[in-house]
Amino acid sequence: MLEILAHSGPARLGIWHYTDKKIPTPNFLLNITPLTRRIEHDIYIAPHRTHTSREPLLVHYGTIAGRARIGRFGILPYSGFGFDIPRELAEAGVEETLALAELYPGYGAVVDGGRYPDLREHCARKLSRRALLCIAGGSKLCQRPRLLVEIVTRIREAVKPNTVLYLPGAPPALMPVLAYMGVDLFDSSHAIRAALRGHYLTRHESYPVDRIKELPCSCRVCISGSAERLRNSTNLLVKHNILQLLELVGEIRESLRHRRFIKLLESCATTSPHAMAALRILYREKYTFLEKYTPAIP
């Protein structure tokens, strides 16, 4: 369960009590892959068939079609029918996802429903008492700011305040905006994919590593290496990109502690058209949602 320590509007600084660990939030789950097995982090996520000794670990059971055997705590299987699908198929997927979730009431679950906000809200309400919910199709949603805002705010409103919301696949530039909407967990999948494509991430931008002349970063990878070294090592590029995420979530949490989150949010939003669009939609169309979490000044 999530212990909420502070708010800045809907954004929450918290502690997620998972197994015997206390995970600070907002945070990201480190995806276990051959490129990340040696990287240390607060919490890891992996498909159910992955063999790893990393702890604490959150298991993702994938889709229902994968016929996973449910064991340790994790995110239950969901329909996996996709994002841009006909409404009838999305409705069937939600019912299939909810039917399985009823069999495992203590587990995390997936908020399914494709591109239909009302179906997402319906699914979230049915799962509202869960300790952890994953928002399906996160990377697709991040490319559609209006739909992202509509779906995430509806889900946040439909579930308990101390339910942990996890949105996979988010790029760094969108993480502060998502945190402002009440998302608590992200993951490292975007950073890993960027490295595999040869992209070097900063908090504000993504650069093709083969065109970089100097490293605009002082993380432990960059300070002890060179642009040429990163060009020749996918492992180092992955590590650098994940360190960028680590710095970003740490800054988000610290800004929440010192009541400077809105300044960070608006600064980061200017670096991404999608983030700026999402923030403007929030300000203009979701003011009642924002006001609910903003104390009145006497």
pLDDT, one tens digit per residue, over 115-173 is 999 999 999 999 999 999 999 999 999 999 999 999 999 999 999 999 999 999 999 99
pLDDT of residue 298: 44
Asked, for residue 296, whether it belongs to a domain, the answer is no
pLDDT of residue 296: 56
Q: What is the mean pLDDT of the chain?
A: 95
Asked, for residue 294, whether it belongs to a domain, the answer is no
Phi, psi of 122 (to 5 degrees): -60, -45
Asked, for residue 36, whether it belongs to a domain, the answer is yes
pLDDT of residue 160: 96
Asked, for residue 274, whether it belongs to a domain, the answer is yes
| pLDDT, tens only, 13-71 | 999 999 999 999 999 999 999 999 999 999 999 999 999 999 999 999 999 999 899 99
Asked, for residue 295, whether it belongs to a domain, the answer is no
The larger pLDDT score, comparing residue 260 to residue 204, is at 260
pLDDT of residue 43: 97
Asked, for residue 110, whether it belongs to a domain, the answer is yes
Q: How many domains does the chain have?
A: 1
Strand-pair category, 44-47 with 27-31: parallel
For residues 193-222, average pLDDT? 92
Cβ neighbours for 81, distance < 8 A, ≥ 6 positions apart: 89, 90, 92, 93, 112, 114
List the domain range (segments joined by +) for residue 162: 2-289
Asked, for residue 298, whether it belongs to a domain, the answer is no
pLDDT of residue 231: 92
| pLDDT, tens only, 265-286 | 999 999 999 999 999 999 999 9
Query: Which CATH number fits the domain that encloses residue 169?
Result: 3.20.20.105
Residue for token digits 């889900």?
155
For residues 63-85, average pLDDT? 95
